[in-house]
Amino acid sequence: MKLKICFHGILGGRKGKDGKGGMWNPKELYDHFNERVIIPNQDSFDIEISIHSWNENEKNEIIELYQPKNSIFEKQINFKQGDKNRRFSKLTSMFKSLDLIRESSDEDLIFSTRFDSWYRKPLVFDEFKEFIEGGKVCFVGDPPVWKKHKVDKRLQDFFFFSKGEQIFKYITHSQLENFLSLMKEDGNEKCYLPNGGRLDNHTIIRSIFDGADIERLETFRGNKHIDNWRKTKQQGYK
């Protein structure tokens, strides 16, 4: 089986969102991902990487490190949506990265992720074979704090994976246009999506996969087994 890894977005900011404080070092990010994801899976899968990124200035270094089969690097688009710019940016980049492999086999394993994820343990896809073969779309498990919220309307956005047949039922051009249009029309941060979730990256991804057989991975939970680089660096993880 092929494992097709799709990166999207920016490298991530050292001191905040939208690249605040300068971007993370691409080599540092790659070395960590290679250790925690690529190496643990390279004996079981034929691995291909695709990238859509707004880090146009870092293009050469990212390509040299990640060796993508397909890639698009663009200057960051100003979507002119105020505080919602990063939501437009993430959603657009995610769809563009997956568009690069739209012709994949239904049996290929598709893994969509961001650059600035910190894996506190290896992610081994064979451990989730039952879910993959069962047609589930797998997401990072809910962090403990979400027990206080209506978690059925939210999903962690560090990564998701499933076979191509399942992914491309939901990652369609019409889906992208529908969500961008919805966010434009609302015009404020209190927009409620079709599933009733309040607008943020977590409710957007949940709405996109509305109707999918979703598996929140209890053995790979947010804030416990995976987090963002900025937070883990502040906490002194190595």
pTM of the model: 0.89
Q: Which residues contact 98 (CB under 8 A, 6 or more apart)?
A: 6, 110, 112, 167, 168, 171
- Is there a contact between 238 and 232 (Cβ–Cβ < 8 Å)? no
Structure tokens at 19: 């690249």
Structure tokens at 65: 């490190």
Q: What is the pLDDT of residues 115-139, one digit of tens each?
A: 999 999 999 999 999 999 999 999 9
Domains and CATH numbers, the chain: 2-234 (3.90.550)
Share of the chain above pLDDT 90, in %: 54
pLDDT for residue 189 is more than 50 = no
Alpha-carbon distances, residue 93 vs 73, 115, 141 (angstroms): 10, 12, 23
Residue 198 vs residue 50, higher pLDDT? 50
pLDDT for residue 93 is more than 70 = yes
pLDDT for residue 62 is more than 50 = yes
Residue 3's φ and ψ, nearest 5 degrees, are -110, 115
**What's the 3-state SS for the chain?**
CEEEEEEEECCCECCCCCCCCCECCHHHHHHHHHHHHHHHHCCCCEEEEEEEECEHHHHHHHHHHHCCCEEEECECCCCCCHHHHHHHHHHHHHHHHHHCCCCCCCCCEEEEEECCEEECCCCCHHHHHHHHHCCCEEEEECCHHHHHCCHHHCCCCCEEEEEHHHHHHHCCHHHHHHHHHHHHHHCCCCCECCCCCECCHHHHHHHHCCCCCEEEEEEEEECCCEEEHHHHHHCCCC
Query: Which of 95-99, 170-174, 184-188, 201-205 is predicted with the least confidence, judged by mean pLDDT?
Result: 184-188
Q: Using 50, 70 and 90 to split pLDDT, how confident is the model at 16?
A: low
Predicted local confidence at residue 224, as pLDDT: 85
What is the C-alpha separation between 142 and 226, in angstroms, rounded? 11
Q: Using 50, 70 and 90 to split pLDDT, how confident is the model at 201?
A: confident
